[in-house]
Structure 1
Amino acid sequence: MTWRGLGLVVGSAFVWGLAQFATGLRRFGALLLGLEIALLAGAGVLAGPMRDRVAVWLVQPRWLDALSIVLAAVAVLWVGVIFSAFWVVRPATSRGRILPAIAAVVMSLVVALPLARAAELAQTSKGVVTSVFASSSGSDAWKGKKRVNLLLIGADAAPGRPGVRTDSMTVASLDTEKGKTTLFSLPRNLEDVPMPTEASRAAFPDGFAGDGTEGTPALLNEVYQWAEDHPDIVPGVPAGERGETLLKATVGGILGLEIDYYAMIDMKGFAQLVDAVGGITVKIDEDLVYGRNDEGLIRAGTRRLTGDQALWFGRTRTGSSDYARMSRQKCLLYGLEQQADPMTVLTRFNQIASAAKRAVSTDIPRDLLPALVQLSQKEKGLDVKSVQFIPPLISTANPDWDFIQDKVDSTLNPVAATAHVSAVKKKDEESLADLCT
């Protein structure tokens, strides 16, 4: 009886009601088995036909709370099924109950711990959503817009240098119907950028000039910190939001696009994110020297980089240029998105979530996350087109602002290409997949 009871207890953890059937409690056993089949069928539907809908639920705090409750309830129910099996098959002698009792405890832990871990991940996800993304705006998805534009910023606050420099600025223009994405990258060293608002134009009628130091031109990557330090240039906007507000409007004015939202990642935080996923594999065309004293070296070839190496890969200009660095930074983001496989995300989720909370800031409201997830699902499998406004396509010291806007318009609407744009003999549109792999 001891060994039979042991087998029935273990078996009941997988086939609910097995012990009840074996001991003549057929109705109770049928009830438990039917309940298990229903739960498995529901899980199959959620993981199969409804997986896209589930992905939308998993970025909404209320659904994450509901998931935690459901997982806890299933864990309690499953443990109850196991101990119910032990109760109906328990041997008459205390000595004979030891092995079945141990089996019941062990199997309870085997089924309950993963469910507890899943509930914990759900709450961690909720913490990321509520801490990184802005509070709900009450807006209705994309409000019927055919295109939404996100400003992606890579910020670098180096030691010994005050303030934040937005050294990487890329606008992701997303087709809300088809999911097709086009990236427009602006170099950090654009000069005399036109100001977008009345207050900023009053301060800089001939384009952004910073403090006006002779021989030191003010660059696009200084606009963010300048706005934070000079409230009068962005009147009515609170501290901490002035930089993003003016930079969104400035970049939008340059490209001729309305920038809807921004997302900024701190470069040091990005290094922590890379370490959290276990490193990132990139293609390196030629040896890269890096470090404050050029003490580091990354050999050419396909390499697995640590967070610190990835940071320097995206930052270094030694033996290189700002424009090569722009391409490398995009490839880092592309590689991180492509290589973050589900198993890595599951096993390192807490580290990833912690790094994301430290590294990322955005004004995307939480109630738009479901629509953004749906948009990303449409984008899967589609090639991402990338346009970099760098020499010789443009001059950073004397940019042709009309040409930049014409190029953006003709890229998003090919039939609208102007003669001005068509005359440029330059392979300026790249496939991000071809560029980075």
Structure 2
Amino acid sequence: MTTPTISYHQFRAEHDVVRDPRRASQRDRSRRAVILTLLTLFLPGGAQTTAGSRKLGRFALAVTIGCWFVLLLGLIMFFTLRSVLLSALTQPFLMWVGSVVLAALAIGWLILWVDTLRLIRFTTLAPGFKPIIGVALVLATLLTSGGLGYGAYLLNESRQALAGIFSGGPAIDAAEGRYNFLLMGADAGEGRQGLRPDSIHVISVNESSAETIIFSIPRNFQNAQFAADSPLNEVYPNGYNCGNDCIINFLYTETQNNYAHLYPDAQDPGAAAMMDAAAGTLDMTMHGYVMVDMAGFSELIDAMGGVTVESGGWVPYRGQRPDGSGWGDTWFEPGVHTFDGDEALAFARSRDHSSDFNRIQRQQCIQQAMIAQFTPQTLLTRFTDIMAAGENLVETDLPQSQLGSLMNLAAEAQEHDPQRLTLGAPDFGSAGDNFSTYPDFEQIRARVDELLANEEANEDQDDDAQESPAQAQDEADTESETDQSSEDSPAGPTPDQDDPAVSDDEPEVETPAEPSELTQPDGSPLTVEYLIAAEDRGETGILQEAASTNGECSPAQ
């Protein structure tokens, strides 16, 4: 009898290439290196959980999930509670905490990359694959740990810069549903004693709708009124009305030199006096001011790498003459220009042979161009220079605690076209009417009320536009019935009737001809050299004509 033989199958676990690549092929080791690199890049801690210390990997994964959760929450808040999010992100303590957290994440990710390099076992890779994975690891480390470290630096620098610009006072409340801010472009200027605000604007923003009105006050505006509670009413009971010595941009320096004691609690008495003058002139409450130093303005443009605008006219300025004869009067030609800081300042300052209104338009054009060209790429690549220029550029009494909500309001305001009013020509007569010299404050306040009423009417229209579909269908049916009734019984004259408003003998209205392009007497185009020579000869007529359109300016790319 034959004894049956029993076979025992020996089961051997398949070799784990991921955890122990020693007996793997070079191809498998290369694939493993790519997988571990991608895991550390997209799921920090994944490489350690798969092939290394599971304890380290789980901790890193928990941090990664927490970061993704915070980013997702921030994204949701950006679309639903943007004001709250921005307010939190601009608080000094939270900015400091954020910079510390980013620095810690940068260090943590660097540790994971070093450990990933250990797990890859670089020396076991194929010779031709070593430089590929080496370059990939270096680039990924720079992108992740380096990016987080740079983000921590930017956030800390921003915290210090904002603390140097904004005040630490309490939040401000809107007045009659509006925030009103005085924006001044101040300039010591060539041959001046003391600082003077040559560019004066009031930005009035509706708290709920973010509709904006911009009031421009010419620098030579006289007889400015003061707010009812202004201490300057004791000095000038009838307004700032001492003639040419009391144009509004002199008020800043005069207050700084002679009446600073009237504003004992103000960090800048001159700016406080300018707010009182704007408030009394427009009959509006001022909530704060922002003063831009034109010298810092020039530094900021240089820090941004220049600014590009398209000018519609000839702009005179003081600079190097094209013939190499030295410093003197010269001109920017019409067309596209990329200005450095000094050139942009000269372009915005110019007032010779043109009007203050043209000057205001050019200043606004430069400001708009800076905003349009202030891209994230510019900020990241030139951050240090921009922050340094910003601290020398801006002075304000606005509280940092409210910076986030004001930034949110400003972002919403950009979605609307602002209404504008200049307290002088052309909104109040022509330049020859001298409205800025002899202002009529009843007219000014009536126009202010008119702009506010226009804004309310626009809000009502927006509300009407949000009516229900059923209401819209009912109105459409009503209009359809009205149109049908009109077709059955025409209200106007028929072809057999005489229409007194239409006559075959009525002459056609001629379209006015386009203004002819300015030329030299021989018909050739104007040149910088010709205008310089004309100025030397005292031929002001052609200079004024050439400069008459230099307020036509727009940002360009």
In the superposition, the TM-score normalised over structure 1's length comes to 0.83
Superposition deviation, residue 295 in structure 1: 3.9
Superposition deviation, residue 65 in structure 1: 1.2
1:161 and 2:184 are equivalent in the alignment: no
Match of residue 46, structure 1, among 74, 77, 80: 74
Match of residue 236, structure 2, among 204, 214, 229: 204
Aligned positions of 1:59-98 closer than 5 A: 59-90=90-121
Distance 1:252 1:246 in 2: 10
Check 1:7–1:230 CA distance in 2 against 1; reply closer, same or farther (3 A cut): same
1:177 and 2:208 are equivalent in the alignment: yes
Indicate conservation of the 8 Å contact 1:271/1:308, yes or no: yes
Gaps of 5+ in 2: 1-20, 320-326, 430-434, 458-551
Partner of 2:503: none
Partner of 1:148: 179
Distance 1:379 1:83 in 2: 48
Superposition deviation, residue 221 in structure 1: 0.6
Aligned alpha-carbon RMSD (Å) = 3.4
The AA in structure 1 aligned to 2:438 is N
Partner of 1:387: 421
1:365 and 2:399 are equivalent in the alignment: yes
Check 1:32–1:192 CA distance in 2 against 1; reply closer, same or farther (3 A cut): closer
Higher alpha-carbon Rg: 2
Partner of 1:409: 449
Distance 2:144 2:369 in 1: 35
Indicate conservation of the 8 Å contact 1:19/1:89, yes or no: no
The AA in structure 1 aligned to 2:157 is T
The AA in structure 2 aligned to 1:118 is G
Distance 1:199 1:413 in 2: 31
- Deviation string, structure 1 residues 198-232 (Cα, Å, up to 9, x no partner): 7533433443256x7xxx44211101111111137
The percentage of counterpart residues that share the same residue type is 27
Partner of 1:219: 247
Indicate conservation of the 8 Å contact 2:178/2:207, yes or no: yes
Deviates more, 1:295-304 or 1:50-59: 50-59
1:264 and 2:291 are equivalent in the alignment: yes
1:255 and 2:282 are equivalent in the alignment: yes
Distance 1:195 1:92 in 2: 80
The AA in structure 2 aligned to 1:220 is I
Superposition deviation, residue 22 in structure 1: 5.5
Deviates more, 1:325-334 or 1:250-259: 325-334
Distance 1:355 1:133 in 2: 15
Question: What is the DSSP-based 3-state SS (H/G/I as helix, E as strand, rest coil) of the residue aligned with 2:64?
Answer: helix
Aligned positions of 1:230-379 closer than 5 A: 230-231=258-259, 235-237=262-264, 241-291=268-318, 294-379=328-413
1:120 and 2:120 are equivalent in the alignment: no
Indicate conservation of the 8 Å contact 2:183/2:202, yes or no: yes
Indicate conservation of the 8 Å contact 1:12/1:85, yes or no: no
Indicate conservation of the 8 Å contact 1:9/1:82, yes or no: no
Check 1:243–1:308 CA distance in 2 against 1; reply closer, same or farther (3 A cut): same
Distance 1:199 1:41 in 2: 54
Superposition deviation, residue 56 in structure 1: 3.4
Question: What is the DSSP-based 3-state SS (H/G/I as helix, E as strand, rest coil) of the residue aligned with 1:50?
Answer: helix
Partner of 2:257: 229
The AA in structure 2 aligned to 1:308 is D
Check 1:105–1:363 CA distance in 2 against 1; reply closer, same or farther (3 A cut): same
Indicate conservation of the 8 Å contact 1:180/1:382, yes or no: yes
Count residues in correspondence: 413
Superposition deviation, residue 85 in structure 1: 2.5
Distance 2:439 2:77 in 1: 50
Indicate conservation of the 8 Å contact 1:189/1:221, yes or no: yes
Gaps of 5+ in 1: 418-433
Distance 1:101 1:331 in 2: 50
Check 1:35–1:356 CA distance in 2 against 1; reply closer, same or farther (3 A cut): closer
